[in-house]
Chains A and B, each alone.
Chain A
Amino acid sequence: MAAEDLPSQFDVVILGTGLTESVIAAACSRVGQSVLHLDRRNYYAGNWASFTFNGLLSWIEQYKNQQEVPITELEQVWRSLIDEGEDAVPLSALDSSISNLEVFCYASEEEEKEEEMKTPLSSFQPVNAETVSEEANGDSTEAHDTVTGDDTTASDAKTPNEEHEVSEPKEDQHTSDISEPSQSQEEKESQLSSSPADPTVEVQKKITYQKLVKEGRRFNIDLVSKLMYSRGALVDLLIKSNVSRYAEFKNIGRILTYRNGKVEQVPCSRADVFASKQLTVVEKRMLMKFLTFCLDFEQHPEEYQDYTEKPFREFLKNKKLTENLQHFILHSIAMVTQHTLTEEGLKATQHFLRCLGRYGNTPFLFPLYGLGEIPQCFCRMCAVFGGIYCLRHSVECLVVDKVSNKVKAVIDTRGQRISCSHFVVEDSYIRDEQRQSTAYRQISRAVLITDRSVLPSESDQQISMVTIPPLESSAPAVRMVELCSSSMTCMPGTYLVHLTCSSSGKAQEDLAPVISQLFHVSTIPGEEPSEGAEERSKPAVLWVMYFNMRDTSALDSSSYSLPSNVHVCTGPDDSLCSDYSIKLAESVFHHILPDEEFCPPAPNPEDIIYDGDGPQAKGPGFDESTNTEADKSLAEEEGATHEKSPSTENSEPAEMDSVTQQAPLDMTPASEE
């Protein structure tokens, strides 16, 4: 489909498909606004994206080549579209939000032929990828929809077909041309080696680089590493809006911390405290007592009043908690710094505790297939309600009315002028000329593929959140998330580890010391870690990538000189949760549509009236007020269903709705023709 097919008028044009922009798109589209949603990249979610291993390698290539991309000379074309009384504000064609990217490979690069020879028995058990994913997913059927990076309008969201889905590469362009038989054999091997049934068998097989590439489509590597607080803004929004039906989630199984050179489990729930072997009974009581107090600390101001101006750390000391407990509470439960004040520390602890037990024994959820799913879910919601999607399609410049100083239209990279009443844009598209300052904070990131967990336990299929307090007093605290293969983010037999901290320098400088404490890193890249050596008690790093990501979360509208109907969305922040981005989306939405509800529940498919659906469809009286009422009753129903879920294991927001998705997908908007 050619770009000329785009309508020339929209209510809202949104540029960038990161979380904030996607939520705004869904919210606008849901209340009936016509939305055009663009991204210059060939994938969804911008800096929130997740990639297959091969996809990530291409992304790295793109990053390296980006510097050389010549600035396009389309200017002549769009200059001619600007009328008198109008100004043109050009946007940036370069994305400079990623920097200091470095990649090291420690997995052996040798050919794998002999390995395959050694395992002839694998041929008689036809285990395939589908079974693996089915086991991991339970029986949930909600869609994990991959909208491929196509240049056309993507509102034709596909009917979800999970089995088909999983066995297909996430992005077509990265499909490696591997002959079928060898492929399936590989799968079997990896399955055998990761089978939880016989954990005693040493991880026998070396994982080569070639294997990582071959199995690359099993990876979903996030650029941003965040978890979802089970009572955080994102989970609430997913439930409220019914967007949760487009995704599946897994509980974070345990919270770990690095202390005195060892990785330990943090007892945070009642069951953890009961089972903990490292705490004495008296410590157990003290910890439980303190946590119970934190749950409603506002009711007991006398307990902390003298400490409101003092750090939380001192308050903990004063409470006569043992060293052990102070560490757990400060670093792993409240997750605050040495300097955080008491009240903030108490609030953080309280939030953590309130999130416990809703879906499991830790406060966190993680979306299967990676965090990059979440923006896509919102995009899908937007598309279901008529939003139009174009990837590899950007905006060249904004057309600003000189009198009102408002954006009237945009001119896209195809030279089409599209008028709109609001323009939402991701920060990285803004040129430096429109900024008040170009000094940014940075986030340091490292992504590792390792061969085992930092703390092996009975189950090798747990997601672990690891808090690593500053190794030196000047260094930042590092947050680490270790994902297992059942989170559908890495191949069986490996773990995908994300490290995040606020930068004090280059990502590698910030994070390499931590990595060398917790992992075995061979001195010569590509060399096998020597078996049996003492070092092998630590997981080996097979592959690592470092990069810095710009953290623009401190900026607000006063940081830009732009028309008032241009809304800039800052990128991901360095916190553990996405609350900041969700709140930002909500406030932008209310700027655009002050009188509309933010993401009301999407109706159930059976409650939607289709054109030609009998006489009722055309009858009068289906005005807004009745609609909102219906929405409310839906919301109540939702609440009722939802309350049940905490009691069931692994309950996910996605479970709330078992209705098939066919219906809303059928009502593809007419705009497509």
Chain B
Amino acid sequence: MHGRVKIKSTAQQEEEKRKEKEKKLKAFVSARDAVLKKRSAGEHDEEALQLTRQLLSSNPDFATLWNYRREVLLHLETLREKDEVQKLYESELHFIEACLKVNPKSYGCWHHRTWVNTRLPQPDWTRELGLCDRCLSLDERNFHCWDYRRVVVKASGVSVEQELQFTDRLIGSNFSNYSSWHYRSTLLPQLHPQPFHSHRVCEEQLLKEYELSHNAFFTDPNDQSAWFYYRWLLGRGVCVCVCLELLCICEDTSAHPMLCVCVCVYVCVCVCVCNLDDLHVCVCICGRSELSVEKSSVLQAELQSCNQLLELEPQNKWCLLTIILLMRALDPLGHEKETLAHFQTLKEVDPMRSTYYSDLCSKFLIENTILKMEYAEVRVFSLSNKNLTTLCHLDQLLFVTHINLSSNQLLRLPPHFAMLQCLEVLEADDNAIENLEGLYHLPKLEEVSLRNNQICKLSDLESLASCTKLTRLDLRGNPVHRTAHIESELSQLLPRVTALSL
């Protein structure tokens, strides 16, 4: 047709592209061979820089070449004047920038840049900060750049205030940026230190931060980064003092060996939990260390905010979970009923994690029972009918002689169950227990009731043989009774058991 522009066909284009590619590949391979040969010959000259430059600018992820380049640069450095060295490394920085454009997430490039800056007689940190800002504005999740930025900030002594403003800016443009929130959490304690507690943040700043996170999760309650930050904030201020308190107890009670063990174990648990999740500590210990009036009023206010959000978003899991944790921190017993209801909702709205919620709920219920027990110093401990799926805090039950775990959803008695060295009677009817590893070397255990569980094999009962005082065993309603010759086998395995119900 007249007047039409003629265009190459797809086949033609592809053929051209293929030829081009072939040519490129050939050039790349021959240059690579030349470089490697040069390196093994120990040549450190300008030509080597030139060759590696060509190769790296098309493929910046070739680590060997970066290494070779560093060798060459180190060698050239010894031959040159100071200002020439400056120039040499400055041109290197420009070259890296070009490579970063090819692959902004190249390990080799960023590493090399850090190295060049350590060699540079007069590094220009402002320029480097500018580079980081530009890269992060293009991709705020480029962790290579975040890492490099930390190096630059440290080396150039940028003030903590400026850095906090930097996170303000990034969070302002997109608050779904966990890197920025996290960075904030490392900056705040430095900026507003509280005397004696290096990890805490002063109250005034804390309130501002609460507001910032409110803005984020009211705007988008499904975004987890702000929630995580918020939980970190809520954890500020309780944990450290508690651990110290407990260590004191530990020292005081050295006269009482048994108790000492108990407390020590407890402290260990605390410390390790504390690293993982501050709020948990605050939760599991709040019964012992009273919250300060201010702290509890702040938490009360936060609970109100979250309840307000829950009214608008009754299905939001982050909100539900945070409310549960806040309630635990404020008054675990008083809020028990609400907590259980919220757990129920959580399991429904987030079925993928329902087991996690069950375990967490079990943990809280056990804690509550322990709290109640403390006031009444009992040795008989009942956790029956609480829908427990897991056992924890057994370390706090070392003196218990009689434990009732009936009517729960336990699948096993875990190894650390063996901690209960004073235990004489165990009731664990109506669970789904298939594994008894924890019933091991319990010297005082006399009676075990495991009716209606899922014990299938004789071998599952082997650990019981190590409990030398065991005389009464109830196994009614377990699949194991279908095993052939079960009675004789059992009497052989557990000769001391006199009262056996199958």
Contacts and interface: CB of A to CB of B under 8 A. Distances in A.
Interface of A: 31-34, 270-271, 273-275, 281-282, 284-286, 288-289, 385-386, 603, 607-609, 616-617, 621-622, 624, 626-627, 629-631, 633, 647-649, 667, 669
Given A274-B172, A281-B305, A607-B7, A32 B219 contact: no
A285 B174 CA distance: 17
A608 B172 contact: no
Nearest to A283: B218
25 contacts: A31-B4, A32-B1, A32-B2, A32-B3, A34-B3, A271-B172, A275-B172, A275-B215, A281-B309, A282-B312, A284-B218, A288-B219, A385-B5, A386-B3, A603-B5, A607-B8, A609-B6, A617-B6, A622-B6, A626-B9, A630-B7, A630-B9, A630-B10, A631-B7, A633-B13
A281 B138 contact: no
A440 B137 CA distance: 49
Interface string B287-319: 000000000000000000100110011000000
Given A274-B175, A275-B172, A285-B312, 19 more contacts: A32-B2, A33-B3, A270-B220, A274-B219, A281-B215, A282-B312, A284-B215, A285-B313, A288-B219, A289-B313, A603-B7, A607-B8, A609-B7, A616-B8, A616-B12, A622-B6, A630-B7, A630-B13, A647-B139
Contacts of B370: none
B216 interface: yes
Contacts of B10: 626, 629-630, 633
Nearest to B313: A285
B108 interface: no
B4 A627 contact: yes
B213 to A, nearest CB: 10
Contacts of A667: 5
B173 interface: yes
Contact of A274 (B5, B216, B309, B312): B216
Contact of B8 (A275, A289, A630): A630
Nearest to B1: A32
B309 A627 contact: no
B221 interface: yes
Chain A to chain B: the 9 pairs with minimum beta-carbon distance, closest first: A281-B218, A609-B6, A32-B4, A32-B3, A626-B9, A285-B218, A284-B218, A274-B219, A603-B7
B200 interface: no
A612 B340 CA distance: 83
A609 B6 CA distance: 5
A609 B138 contact: no
Interface string B126-161: 000000000001110000000000000000000000
Contacts of A631: 7
B138 to A, nearest CB: 6
B53 interface: no
Contact of B5 (A608, A621, A648): A608
Contacts of A273: 219
Contact of A648 (B12, B138, B216, B219): B138
A286 B9 CA distance: 54
Contacts of A288: 218-220
A285 B215 CA distance: 9
A282 B218 contact: yes
Contact of A624 (B1, B138, B214, B215): B1
A281 B3 contact: no
A647 B138 contact: yes
A667 B6 CA distance: 11
Interface in B320-368: none
A647 B141 CA distance: 12
Nearest to A613: B6
Contacts of B6: 608-609, 617, 622, 627
Contacts of A626: 7, 9-10
Contact of B221 (A285, A624, A633): A285
Contacts of A274: 172, 175, 215-216, 219-220
A93 to B, nearest CB: 32
Contacts of B312: 282, 285-286, 289
Given A33-B3, A281-B305, A284-B215, A271 B8 contact: no
B138 A649 contact: yes
B13 A607 contact: yes
Contacts of B12: 616
Contacts of B8: 607-609, 616, 630
Given A33-B3, A386-B3, A281 B214 contact: yes
A285 B9 contact: no
Nearest to A273: B219
B211 to A, nearest CB: 8
Nearest to A670: B3
Nearest to B211: A281
Interface in B53-80: none
Nearest to A634: B7
Contacts of B2: 32
Contacts of B215: 274-275, 281, 284
Nearest to B221: A285
Contacts of B175: 270-271, 274
Contacts of A33: 3
A629 B9 contact: yes
Contacts of A289: 312-313
Contacts of B214: 281
A521 B358 CA distance: 69
Contacts of A270: 174-175, 219-220
Contacts of A32: 1-4
Contacts of B174: 270-271
Contacts of B7: 603, 607-609, 622, 626-627, 630-631
